[in-house]
Amino acid sequence: MGIYIIAEIGINHNGNLQIAKDLISVAKKAGADAVKFQKRTIDKVYTQEFLAGLRESPWGTTQREQKEALEFGQAEYAQIDEYCRKQEIDWFASAWDLDSLGFLRQFDLKHNKVASAMLSDLDFLRAVAAEGKHTFMSTGMSTVQDIDTAVGIFKEAGCPFDLMHTVSTYPMDDEDANLLRINALRDRFHCPVGYSGHETGLAVSYAAAALGVTCLERHITLNRAMYGSDQAASLEPAGFSMLVGAVRKIEQALGDGSLEMREKEKPIMMKLRGARPFEGHGQEKR
């Protein structure tokens, strides 16, 4: 199986169902395997004091007005579920609280996602692991002990998972990517490891693919100039299409690591070497 490519819509739909559908179509056309959303119960995730705070947005002047405008409910997710089935693309969401996790169960999704912010919530992790669905766990903002504990919970529950190397800055500077952590996570936890990127370009994600990640997640948007905190770290349709195409080429190029000569080389060998040993670079003539 190749790299599982996830188009993170998140809250980039800005509360508009048509934008969400347009982004699903973008992901499908590019060749992504899945789209992902975020689901929050506002009054569980945020304090009343925070929600009453001032925040200018297209929907009002308080944090509550902004947060509530970005949340889809039953009607919207029912349409998203139907639309993704017609498009033949997987969808799932990162729940940010237990109520949201329960809400998502009704759609019988193939995957769960643990956002970096939730990796230290042990009760939440146990509830996700108890569902037994293949789960993607982002590791941003987490200590080694945090990850040790999370992995232990999922292994004890027998729940399959991928860790996803993540740096939780938006957008992430290239010099902060620390991609060799992918290898370190794989070596320490003996599990599949992917990458969830928040950089602005494509090169870092290409490098992650070349390191053999099992899954790759990037935010997508219709236009990076749109309102929203995640837009700047997102890829527009053309960029996301380039990403998927290049990642599929990288998968092919990686091969299996065999030291044997490629079959396609053999006729070239016969033409250039004939019956003689080839006196090429690095070989001493005798």
Strand pairing partners for 112?
A: 135
Q: Which among 196, 220, 216 has a CA at the least distance from the CA of 20?
A: 220
* φ and ψ of 60, to 5 deg: 155, -155
How buried is 190 (Cβ within 10 angstroms: 0-12 exposed, 13-18 middle, 19+ buried)?
exposed
Ordered per-residue pLDDT tens for the chain, 286 residues? 799 999 999 999 999 999 999 999 999 999 999 999 999 999 999 999 999 999 999 999 999 999 999 999 999 999 999 999 999 999 999 999 999 999 999 999 999 999 999 999 999 999 999 999 999 999 999 999 999 999 999 999 999 999 999 999 999 999 999 999 999 999 999 999 999 999 999 999 999 999 999 999 999 999 999 999 999 999 999 999 999 999 999 999 999 999 999 999 999 999 998 866 555 555 554 4
Q: Is the peptide bond before 277 cis (omega within 30 degrees of 0)?
A: no
For the chain, domains (ranges, CATH) are 4-261 (3.20.20.70)
Q: Whole-angstrom Cα distance, residue 91 to residue 109?
A: 7
Provide CB contacts within 8 A for 29, sequence distance 6+.
Answer: 237, 241
How buried is 268 (Cβ within 10 angstroms: 0-12 exposed, 13-18 middle, 19+ buried)?
exposed
Query: Would you say 166 and 216 are in contact if contact means Cβ atoms under 8 Å apart?
Result: no
How buried is 286 (Cβ within 10 angstroms: 0-12 exposed, 13-18 middle, 19+ buried)?
exposed
Q: Which among 136, 143, 100, 98 has a CA at the least distance from the CA of 120?
A: 143
Cβ atoms < 10 Å from Cβ of 216? 23
Task: Say which residue the tokens 């790299």 belong to.
Answer: 3
Classify 27 as helix, strand or coil: helix
pTM score of the predicted model: 0.93
